[in-house]
Each structure stands twice: as structure tokens, then as C-alpha cells.
Amino acid sequence: MGRVIGDGGWYFHVVDVATDPAHQRQGLGRAVVEWLVADIRDRAPEGPYVSLIGDPPGQRLYRSLGFEDVTPSLGMGIVLSAD
């Protein structure tokens, strides 16, 4: 599974890419990301910026599909608690 969030214009973020462990290493993750990128190409104006946060298990896949490290940027997050 996977999905894309974005501004409907030039900026898109690939998120929630996951494959059931019983079905990993069969090309399903690659197929999902390729489909998502193809869908962005079909819908977006020329030259969209597509980003993702690649956890270690997926980094090799993402790099093989053309994604590059965006140093010196660093992915960041926060978990908000109810106050």
C-alpha cells in the first residue's frame, strides 16, 4: 500500500508505503511506488517535486527509483500529547 499527499500542484509527498511481511521481496513495494510516481506524472504540471521519508529498510528501493538524499535537510517529527 501507499499514498500521496500534496498541494494539488507541484509538491507531493509519498507516504504510508508498506508491504505485508509475508509478501515482501516480491517487487510489490516497487510496483506501488512506481504506480504512485506515474500517477503524479499524469496529473501534475511538468516538473513536480516528489519527496518521501525513507526508513532504512526502504532506502535502497527508493534510491533505485531515482530518489536522492536531500542533505542537509533532515526529516523531523513530533508526537503531540493531549494537554
- Show me where the domains of the chain are located: 3-64
Render pLDDT for 6-50 as a digit per residue (tens, 0 to 9). Answer: 998 899 999 999 999 999 999 999 999 999 999 999 999 999 999
For residue 42, the model assigns a pLDDT of 94
Q: Give the three-state DSSP class for 6.
A: strand
CATH superfamily of 3-64: Gcn5-related N-acetyltransferase (GNAT) (3.40.630.30)
pLDDT of 9 = 87
pLDDT reported for residue 64: 97
C-alpha closest to that of 2 among 31, 45, 25? 31
pTM, rounded to two decimals: 0.88
DSSP state string for 22-63: GGTTSSHHHHHHHHHHHHHHHHSPSS-EEEE---HHHHHHHH
Query: CA 82 to CA 68: how far, in whole Å?
Result: 36
